[in-house]
Amino acid sequence: MSDLSSFKIAVIPGDGIGQEVMPEGLKIIELAANSVGITLELMQLDWACADYYLAHGVMLPEDWKKQLDGVDAIYFGAVGWPEVVPDHISLWDSLLQFRREFDQYINLRPVRTFAGVPFPLAGKAPGDIQYSIVRENTEGEYSSVGGVMFANTDREVVVQQSVFTRHGADRVLKYAYELAASSAPDSRRLTVATKSNGMAISMPWWDERAKAMSNNYPDVVWDKQHIDILCARLVLQPERFDVIVATNLFGDILSDLGPATTGTIGIAPSANLNPERVFPSLFEPVHGSAPDIAGKGIANPVGMIWSGAMMLDFLTQGDSRGRQAHDVILKAIEMVLANGPRTPDLGGDASTKEMGDAIAALVSASF
Ligand code: ATP
Ligand code: MG
């Protein structure tokens, strides 16, 4: 990445509705980027999808890393088509490869509600749900260390170990504290998900790492909450949260729970970040390929578009242009969610393209 005005983006639409929401995302991020003086060089890739798997028997070409050389970010639709590729292959051999090889150790999911989108938490106002989940993406509970002893006997014992490193814990904690510290003064609370009352070795250690890191961030009000009560509070008292940081497993759970409380999975974005920018980061909607509605042109494009807005903000390192492009897109999303047109998951009858066009028109009018 030479300067912060021109970026090379690998575009991977993937499967199912990934292919339908991607054009809407591209249309809008190009519009916003051009309007603030950012040039995007888009590189369309036809791998990491079921069609490629059918033709080649693998998800990625052998030289995939080379093809991504010099790329600043990956804009990703959705992967998975269980009729053709078993889910464990489609996921493990594409997205999870990128995550690992590009050391995308942060999974960031902003969670918020919007006027015009009903959500399932009774008694809460839309503004009550507005927080970010920071999930550790590379280590912890999802390790392959362990095994089965005395297999197929009455004495069968199964062990799966969690593997945490100081390096791994500290870098995700640091990212979360930085995020909280750079938030508006009244939104600088950080909640550390833990389970130190049950997991007696790893989690007290994790709590200690969090406490040690807190010394560097006097402006951040932090606390730790056990994962069980934390899940309950995200439903009962979501207004208590600004930034939540969690290990891989707990973060995985929270980052499905959070978006589920906002009404539709179709609007939620996510980023897999390598914050040092040594490797490309990846931006994708939270939703999957949705085979049940694929091909109908009715998928909600907002998750894809919002993820693109996050990408512009990240690429420019939060400078005023990237931030402006991001904010203009978010504003347009807010307006269209409030006033329509809306896709069927939001109770409307608009197509993916109609909703994308409406957002694009507002973005265009904002510059
Ligand atoms: P995963 O990718 O984790 O395997 P999945 O395949 O279980 O997820 P999705 O593909 O996200 O799940 O679909 C779950 C449900 O949400 C489906 O009924 C799908 O139609 C709906 N859905 C997902 N994304 C959208 C969207 N963008 N617009 C409308 N409905 C959606
Ligand atoms: Mg799926």
Q: Which CATH number covers residue 205?
A: 3.40.718.10
- Ligand 1 center–CA 288 separation, angstroms: 5
Domain that holds residue 41: 1-104+268-366
Residue where a domain stops, chosen among 230, 262, 294: 262
Question: Is 113 contained in some domain?
Answer: no
Would the CB of 269 count as within 6 Å of ligand 1?
no
Number of folded domains that form the chain: 2
Query: What are the Cα distances from residue 102, in Å, to 73, 161, 195, 252, 275?
Result: 11, 24, 29, 19, 11
Question: Is 111 contained in some domain?
Answer: no
Nearest CA to ligand 1 atom 19: 290
Asked if 79 and 15 count as a contact pair (C-beta separation under 8 A), the reply is yes
Among 94-103, 264-273, 295-304, 314-323, the least confident range: 314-323
On the question of pLDDT at 217 being above 50, the answer is yes
- Ligand 1 center–CA 15 separation, angstroms: 12
Residue where a domain stops, chosen among 234, 262, 290: 262
Question: Is 114 contained in some domain?
Answer: no
Q: Say yes or no: 146 and 99 in one domain.
A: no
Residue where a domain stops, chosen among 239, 262, 285: 262
Q: Say yes or no: 89 and 155 in one domain.
A: no
Q: Say yes or no: 233 and 135 in one domain.
A: yes
Q: What is the C-alpha separation between 362 and 367, in angstroms, rounded?
A: 9
Nearest CA to ligand 1 atom 2: 288
Q: Say yes or no: 185 and 279 in one domain.
A: no
Interval 278-299 mean pLDDT: 97
- Ligand 1 center–CA 265 separation, angstroms: 7
Q: Say yes or no: 343 and 225 in one domain.
A: no
Read off the pLDDT band of 1 (50, 70, 90). Answer: very low
Q: Say yes or no: 237 and 319 in one domain.
A: no
Question: Is 110 contained in some domain?
Answer: no
Question: Is 163 contained in some domain?
Answer: yes
Closest atom of ligand 1 relative to the 291 alpha carbon: 10
Average pLDDT, the chain: 95
Closest atom of ligand 1 relative to the 345 alpha carbon: 29
Closest atom of ligand 1 relative to the 299 alpha carbon: 28
Interval 27-34 mean pLDDT: 97
- Ligand 1 center–CA 304 separation, angstroms: 13
Read off the pLDDT band of 92 (50, 70, 90). Answer: confident
pLDDT at 318: 67
Q: What is the C-alpha separation between 224 and 239, in angstroms, rounded?
A: 16
To test the pocket of ligand 1, the residue of 22, 79, 265 to mutate (highest count of ligand atoms within 8 Å of its CB) is 265
Q: Say yes or no: 228 and 312 in one domain.
A: no
Nearest CA to ligand 1 atom 6: 288
Q: Say yes or no: 12 and 48 in one domain.
A: yes
Q: Say yes or no: 226 and 149 in one domain.
A: yes
Query: What's the longest Cα–Cα distance across the chain?
Result: 70
pLDDT at 319: 81
